């Protein structure tokens, strides 16, 4: 089993507070600033959980599609994937309502094969599945 981790430290209440998030497993990024205005207004150089989810979804999806195309014998020369994660206020508060994937690829495949592989990758991508509530969420809470 492979696990990856990130840690957030938060100070203050939601709307005026601030925090940082660090990618613990790789150390590749962080600490990155996070705050409410970056989620609900303008990023101004600060990230948000939704942007981090978009990054995870875009990279996971690209890997899934690259694998699918290679298995078909038509590996991609290049894939460019952009994901937009939407957060909206509903009856029970704010929530992630959708994740929109846009992918463009170049390679020796035709459009029909690419489109089919793209749909398969959407279903196979672990982050897509997680966003479809296909995971168990556990909690260990206590005082420091």
- Write the DSSP assignment of 90-129 as a string of letters: ETTEEEEEEEEEEEEEEES--HHHHHHHHHHHHHH-HHHH
For 26, phi then psi, to 5°, come to: -100, -30
Model pTM score: 0.90
Kind plus residue range of the DSSP H or E element containing 61: helix 49-71
Q: Cα separations (Å) of 4 from 23, 52, 54?
A: 8, 14, 17
**Joined tokens for residue 87:** 């957060």
Task: Give the 3-state secondary structure of residue 132.
Answer: coil
pLDDT of the chain along its 144 residues, tens only? 888 999 999 999 999 999 999 999 998 988 999 999 998 888 899 999 999 999 999 999 999 999 999 999 999 999 999 999 998 888 988 888 999 999 999 999 899 999 999 999 999 999 999 998 877 888 887 777
List every span in the chain annotated with CATH 3.30.300.20. Answer: 48-133
Nearest to 31 by CA among 22, 42, 23, 19: 22
Q: Does domain 48-133 have CATH number 3.30.300.20?
A: yes
């Amino acid at each position: 089993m492979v696990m990856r981790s990130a840690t957030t430290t938060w100070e203050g209440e939601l709307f005026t507070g601030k925090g940082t998030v660090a990618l613990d497993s790789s150390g590749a990024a962080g600490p990155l600033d996070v705050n409410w205005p970056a989620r609900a207004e303008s990023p101004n150089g600060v990230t948000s959980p939704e942007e981090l989810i978009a990054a995870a979804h875009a990279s996971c999806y690209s890997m899934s599609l690259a694998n699918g195309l290679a298995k078909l014998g038509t590996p991609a020369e290049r894939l460019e994937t952009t994901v937009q994660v939407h957060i909206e206020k509903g009856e029970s508060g704010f929530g992630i309502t959708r994740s929109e994937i846009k992918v463009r690829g170049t390679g020796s495949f035709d459009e029909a094969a690419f489109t089919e592989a793209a749909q398969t990758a959407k279903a196979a991508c672990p982050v897509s599945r997680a966003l479809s509530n296909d995971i168990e969420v556990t909690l260990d809470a206590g005082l420091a």
